[in-house]
Amino acid sequence: MNKKEVAHIRKQFKLDHDLLNIYDILNVYITKETNEVYHWERHPFELVDREKQELYMGNFKKLLTGDLDQKLFELKFQEAAEDPAQVLLHQALVTGDPDEWQDLMLLLVDRMLVDTKFERDMVATFVRGQYYLPTKARNEATEESEKNEVFAHPFILCSVNSTEKQRKTLLFDYVEREFKYNIIVDPIIKLSTPEQGFLYPSVTDNYSDVNRVLYCTGKSNFPDPHFVENVLNGERSVTALEERAIFEDIVKEVAGEQLDSATIAHVYEEINRVIEINEESHEEEPPKLDYKDLERVLTASGIEDLTTEKVERAFETIVDNKNYEMKATSVMPKFTSKSIKIETKVATISVSPQDLRYVKQVNYQGRRCIMIEVDEDVVIEGFTLNTEKLINE
């Protein structure tokens, strides 16, 4: 599944969209004290109040928002799983009986409750329906309708949300002309910040892939192992944060622990060039870096004494697999934003990878200092800093 396919699906989740049909919604309330289902209810989605429908649509869209391998993870199912979730999900997908679908989703909730303890009351929301994806590019010359170019995809979506108690407030009653204490104790379901969930099936080349599921987490780079492995029976997926750590360890193995900022900037520029070429060629799969690609990137960045064998050994040392491939988009910070944080006890400096070359660590009068090259005067609280000469000419 690529980011374009995710974006297209996410856009369908709005009211009265003619490329989306939601048939049923099931809400399950789980209490933290007993770790049991306290209440559940199922309704045809079209009979739900419109105001509630809008809240749910916002929740589903939020669930599907984020970068792949950071908040969204396409998972393969474990082949050797006992009582596999894939069978349960596929049966729920193809059944036309709302009661059977409901019972299967409640079995999935039972999986969520095994060997886990919730810190707050939780609500699991399930919907079933279908959306449409294009089967080919739109023909502007013949003005073909978008509906003539789409294919229906049945789906199941799950969002797990936490609850919170309402804040204690003081109200003014206009009728009685008196101040009143707010005693509402009903918990608030945090639909705007889903904890996790999934979309089944996943999509490959605009076709449903029943052998994969899209897992969604509310916390970047921290998928819930219990939900992934025990509830969905999904195979463990490497996060972008973990892949970046692998990349850094491999570079340190071949180039040493210390690099100057210009070299690091060159490395990021070369990787960004790989990403841009991939986008310009309209490749659906994200670009990947193997040991040969990394050798080329590091050589182009000015790192000397590199050989294919040296980089290959580094892959074997760090990941125990010389043929391991890293996603180019995962191994570097976002290129055009100030995504690099340089933290010291005095200050934290934010800089983009492309501007890293203007930051240097220097030795001045026996002290390590950060030096930043600037083109204009620096203004602090309205005061223009005086330019000091560090070296007498």
Structure tokens that stand for 364 in this block: 């001045």
Number of domains present in the structure of the chain: 3
Inter-residue contact 384 to 376 (CB < 8 Å): no
CA angle, corner 299, sides to 297 and 301, nearest 5?
70
Residue 170 pLDDT class (50, 70, 90 cuts):
confident
Q: Indicate whether 178 and 113 sit together in one domain.
A: yes
From 236, 262, 279, give the residue that closes a domain. 236
β-strands 212-217, 207-209: how paired? unpaired
Q: Indicate whether 360 and 226 sit together in one domain.
A: no
Question: Each residue of 178-207: pLDDT tens digit?
Answer: 888 877 778 889 999 999 999 999 998 888
In a domain, 391, yes or no: no
From 212, 236, 260, give the residue that closes a domain. 236
In a domain, 390, yes or no: no
Q: Indicate whether 104 and 141 sit together in one domain.
A: yes
In a domain, 154, yes or no: yes
Residue 141 has pLDDT above 70, yes or no: no
In a domain, 210, yes or no: yes
Using N-to-C axis directions, what is the helix angle for 261-280 and 291-300, rounded to 10°? Answer: 120
In a domain, 95, yes or no: yes
Structure-model confidence comparison of residues 214 and 80, the more confident one: 214
Q: Indicate whether 305 and 347 sit together in one domain.
A: no
In a domain, 149, yes or no: yes
Question: Each residue of 219-241: pLDDT tens digit?
Answer: 999 999 999 999 999 998 899 99
In a domain, 393, yes or no: no
Inter-residue contact 106 to 28 (CB < 8 Å): yes
Residue 382 has pLDDT above 70, yes or no: yes
Q: Can you tell me the distance from the alpha carbon of 214 to that of 66, in angstroms, rounded to the nearest whole number?
A: 12
Residue with tokens 């004290």: 33
Q: Indicate whether 43 and 89 sit together in one domain.
A: yes
Q: Indicate whether 83 and 215 sit together in one domain.
A: yes
Q: Indicate whether 258 and 365 sit together in one domain.
A: no
Question: Each residue of 259-291: pLDDT tens digit?
Answer: 989 999 999 999 999 999 988 887 778 899 999
Residue 137 pLDDT class (50, 70, 90 cuts):
very low
From 236, 255, 278, give the residue that closes a domain. 236
Q: Indicate whether 192 and 112 sit together in one domain.
A: yes
In a domain, 1, yes or no: yes
Domain with 308, as residue range(s), is 239-329
Q: Can you tell me the distance from the alpha carbon of 380 to that of 358, in angstroms, rounded to the nearest whole number?
A: 20
Q: Indicate whether 40 and 57 sit together in one domain.
A: yes
Q: How confident is the model at residue 176, as a pLDDT?
A: 87
Q: Indicate whether 214 and 310 sit together in one domain.
A: no
Q: Indicate whether 50 and 31 sit together in one domain.
A: yes
pTM, two decimal places: 0.85
Structure-model confidence comparison of residues 177 and 391, the more confident one: 177
Residue 139 pLDDT class (50, 70, 90 cuts):
very low
Q: If you average pLDDT over every residue of the chain, what do you get?
A: 90
Burial class of residue 220, CB neighbours in 10 A (0-12, 13-18, 19+): middle
Q: Indicate whether 211 and 251 sit together in one domain.
A: no
